[in-house]
Structure 1
């Protein structure tokens, strides 16, 4: 019988039961060993067998606790499909998602223990899970109700094996987990680490925006791998000299574009680490990686996406035409780690076209290939708007703004305008230096087409609102204006 993600974790529990599996637990001072985690998963599995049918999925509001992680391990071990939900979702959205997934029961964490609510059958429970489904993740929901993303056991096994080999994970490895438990980054942070017998340093979600706390966790926990969205690295840059990340071997930037003013500080914060720009999404997991050094961190406006990871194919398409040379188009990806398709979303089946005997995923990301064949992310195809008839990608405007040291954060949204059709509004948090809307307008005028210059600049005193994945919540920014 071949080794799997779950079987390798349980093998470590038998061979090294006292080895630490989870450290830095929210609100707790004690570590959780592999033997303790396996025993908790076994007890949870017995409850599942006694209470729930094996052929229907379960759902979990995925608070970051040992009980939650043990439940996931129990389901992985038994082949039970499990839907992971963000604790930040509203009750109505949770009801919609568990109905679409056909979940028979919903688990929540209360006082460190699991509490189960049996769910009634409903009209939306007809979605058929693909064969071999193990976990069901959700997209960020930035454009509406989150989509359900089933991942098969084979995809999880392949991804965690690849991640372990790429990062050199073993029983001595320590890996920081910043992402929420329901987020796809945990497939590397938590599950690849546990599969290879390492120690996971769990960031308390309630303190995830505190630079001093994060710096102390890295200073005391001494992780070898740090992966995170741009928000994490902005916070660590704010911590500065208090960080002491000299023990870190790999730094992985993922989730979105990291502004150059943050990126240029990384070699000083992590002087011995290899720096990697990672491209991926919930539907495909990691697909491309570009390793870079201090000069590129400081000098490149936008880092290349890099080379496809093991077994991954990529294509760039402009409409129905493949782009093989320089040019812009939508990125398509086919990986061994990807979902077979969304659940209960018949309107978006075209996002998973069949080509050359493989299933591909249309990422919705607009990329540009240069004369040397390197791909760079331009922005989302759905973040393109027309201003006075000219196509503008708001993420390009954001990069111009965040490239300035006096700007800590920036986001641009398009709102209806009676004259221009849409008007661009820029929301900017200064880094501390005096900055005015006129100065920002002048900055944009030097680097952007005239129609891409925002009509209004809103200067904010606090951080931009973010969603569960750490990305800017543009809908809340729109409400700020309307």
Structure 2
């Protein structure tokens, strides 16, 4: 593409580095509902004075030599990051883009990928950022669904060749202010596209700034891929606050020694990652290495196992430990801070209490909202959430008006997660509605089967999936990773399951392996890989 002179910044930034503060009253949620009373605990509204791209540019002007990114042993300053983003803006300016038309980004995490995304943010240009690990046909279909006629890759990365989509898709109309277009992981069909309004992203970065003390002189480790919503905190909240983001190379994400070496060398103050990353760190650290520079350590995206949790205080002696719960559609919704005794307590760890500005309800079996303690399906409404999927025909059953008894005027996201709220208001995740299956007429929750498998002292990872069966309704398959040096076999594991589960809940097929289980692009255990290949 031909370079052109980049356009001037779309919004001026002040001459001093920004920090989140108060905002005018009356700011609305991304879907237009008013967040009356939904302020942070200190009374400041959940809106920063500058939008994310303007805040980054302000740091580049006032602190150009300050470190923005660390990539392997290379440090990228705010000035260098802004210069790279300006070059990418020239590429955007050379395209025949209509107002509000999104571009497609196929980007593997790197400083160049960060610069490309930042360029889109500065230009207020919506962009679809899917996992580059998706199959080419899926990627082509997603870009077509988003109406992204132009596909960009970061400087230095090979341009992907994608097949033509199966059929032309109607070009959607994006709401004004849309920035990130993220995708769900997808289970058996095309992942859903989740448009996020920049105003919602800015509210989230303001919350993260205050909660984890982000800012100049602070380093945050980013383990997740750029397309995972975890990067909104690790990368974008960090850059908006003027901190330094330590990027973990996705090509080395499962290399325990590399991960430990990066954290030991660069001493991040904040670490957020899926439980897999913490298990890898413990594997490499042994009993002699500690990461005493970490002050905040959050695990999210999946359930953490008892052994990993119990070992974290020794590995991270100076860190506050957190369990964070959220969905791509809503961003983070719950936070639970663990005290030092929690690490030895019974699992599962509570997902905690709602973030400031987040409203929640639990719908009982009859569909009405529960008051006080009880169990049911979790609904959330956050200041950071999407208004719906890009394909609104897929909203049904997910983005919804309030269930009976919740009160008017708010749009909810039905998570599909089954939870219990205790007398103290803490919420505990117990399973998923789509993990509820029937085997020989008996209701089984596959998440509970996984929990029992993980309770075995020689099991490191576990995954359970259900396959349709014309006779039994569902047939359960399970795979586990056993501990190094373990002699665990299927007979011993079946005996463990039989002592703790109904007969129908014991999987028909048990696979035991010494290596890690297959993972999704976001680092979670891939349950689909447990099922036998289709003939």
Question: Do both share a fold (TM > 0.5)?
Answer: yes
- Relative to the length of structure 1, the TM-score reads 0.94
2:79 alignment counterpart: 35
Q: Secondary structure at the match of 1:22?
A: strand
1:354 alignment counterpart: 401
Q: Secondary structure at the match of 1:427?
A: strand
Q: How many pairs were matched up?
A: 479
Q: Distance in 1 between matches of 2:206 and 2:159?
A: 30
Q: Secondary structure at the match of 1:264?
A: helix
Q: Secondary structure at the match of 1:42?
A: helix
2:70 alignment counterpart: 23
Q: Distance in 2 between matches of 1:327 and 1:481?
A: 41
Q: 1:120 to 1:148 in 2, by over 3 A?
A: closer
2:517 alignment counterpart: 464
Aligned residue runs from structure 1 range 57-72, under 5 A: 57-72=102-117
Q: Distance in 2 between matches of 1:39 and 1:110?
A: 13
1:390 alignment counterpart: 442
2:90 alignment counterpart: 46
Deviations 1:336-362 (A, max 9, x none): 000111011404333111232121100
Q: Distance in 1 between matches of 2:81 and 2:170?
A: 32
Q: 1:348 to 1:16 in 2, by over 3 A?
A: same
Aligned residue runs from structure 1 range 64-143, under 5 A: 64-109=109-154, 111-112=156-157, 123-143=168-188
Deviations 1:431-457 (A, max 9, x none): 122112222122222222232222232
Contact (CA 8 Å) 1:364, 1:381: kept in 2 or not?
Answer: yes
Q: Distance in 2 between matches of 1:369 and 1:163?
A: 25
Pick the aligned partner of 1:332 from 379, 383, 388.
379
2:459 alignment counterpart: 407
Q: Distance in 2 between matches of 1:359 and 1:103?
A: 28
Q: Distance in 2 between matches of 1:143 and 1:268?
A: 40
Q: Distance in 2 between matches of 1:49 and 1:121?
A: 29
- Would you tell me which structure has more helix in proportion to its own residues? 1
2:37 alignment counterpart: none
Q: CA RMSD in A?
A: 2.2
1:299 aligns with 2:345: yes
Pick the aligned partner of 1:4 from 47, 51, 59.
51
Greater shift in the superposed pair: 81-90 or 122-131: 122-131
Q: Distance in 1 between matches of 2:299 and 2:395?
A: 29
Pick the aligned partner of 1:256 from 302, 312, 316.
302
Unaligned runs of 5+ residues in structure 1 are: none
Q: Distance in 2 between matches of 1:401 and 1:296?
A: 21
1:150 aligns with 2:203: no
2:508 alignment counterpart: 455
- Would you tell me which structure has more strand in proportion to its own residues? 1
In the TM superposition, residue 121 of structure 1 has moved relative to its aligned partner by 13
Q: Distance in 1 between matches of 2:148 and 2:170?
A: 8
Q: Secondary structure at the match of 2:396?
A: helix
Q: Distance in 1 between matches of 2:354 and 2:329?
A: 16
Contact (CA 8 Å) 1:218, 1:244: kept in 2 or not?
Answer: no
Q: Secondary structure at the match of 1:31?
A: strand
Q: 1:262 to 1:200 in 2, by over 3 A?
A: same
Q: Distance in 2 between matches of 1:130 and 1:23?
A: 34
Q: Secondary structure at the match of 1:360?
A: strand
Q: 1:398 to 1:195 in 2, by over 3 A?
A: same
1:473 alignment counterpart: 526
Greater shift in the superposed pair: 184-193 or 55-64: 55-64
Pick the aligned partner of 2:389 from 342, 365, 377.
342
Q: Distance in 2 between matches of 1:134 and 1:323?
A: 35
Q: Distance in 2 between matches of 1:150 and 1:417?
A: 37
Contact (CA 8 Å) 1:109, 1:115: kept in 2 or not?
Answer: no
Pick the aligned partner of 1:163 from 186, 208, 215.
208
Pick the aligned partner of 1:179 from 224, 234, 237.
224
Q: Secondary structure at the match of 1:56?
A: coil
Q: Distance in 1 between matches of 2:441 and 2:372?
A: 27
Q: Distance in 1 between matches of 2:115 and 2:155?
A: 15
Contact (CA 8 Å) 2:478, 2:530: kept in 1 or not?
Answer: no
Greater shift in the superposed pair: 324-333 or 140-149: 324-333
Deviations 1:83-106 (A, max 9, x none): 102110111111110111111201
1:314 alignment counterpart: 360
Q: Secondary structure at the match of 1:291?
A: strand
- Relative to the length of structure 2, the TM-score reads 0.85
Deviations 1:28-53 (A, max 9, x none): x4211100000111121122123232
In the TM superposition, residue 461 of structure 1 has moved relative to its aligned partner by 2.8
Q: Distance in 1 between matches of 2:367 and 2:440?
A: 27
